[in-house]
Amino acid sequence: YDQLATQIQGADSQSLLLIKAVNRPEGERFYRPKGAAQPTDLDEIIPSLRKSFARELSDRLLAWLPERTTDVVVTGGGGQFFWNDLQLILKEARIKAYLAQPSRKANALGQYIYGEVQKQSASR
């Protein structure tokens, strides 16, 4: 939201209206910051930001993952928002990507699996 707000004069990255607008369906994403006469069509801005942010997320993810990783489960609302771009980037790295939904259940499952792996590692 910070990167998006820098592209719109007078925008506040913490604005709930901006956050709601970003999460609306394509074609309905308009945001008018306080004092602006016309709303900004976010569909003109979001695609390029999504691609660059997905690339940044993927670079961080790939740097963090162990080299033997073959599969990744993506969870959370952010994962869903960036899914199309993340999936392509991970596919280029020959990593199978899966989107887990709904995100709250997927996050809980991921935390459980992580905890189990940590327990097994500690007992070795």
List pLDDT tens digits, range 38-97.
Answer: 999 999 999 999 888 888 888 888 898 888 889 988 876 677 778 888 888 889 999 999
Between the CA of residue 74 and those of 39, 63, 66, 87, what are the distances in Å?
33, 16, 16, 9
Kindly report the pTM of this predicted structure: 0.60
Average pLDDT, the chain: 87
Q: What is the residue whose two structure tokens read 């999936």?
A: 87
Question: In which element (H, E) is residue 66 found?
Answer: none
CB 8 within 8 A of CB 40: yes
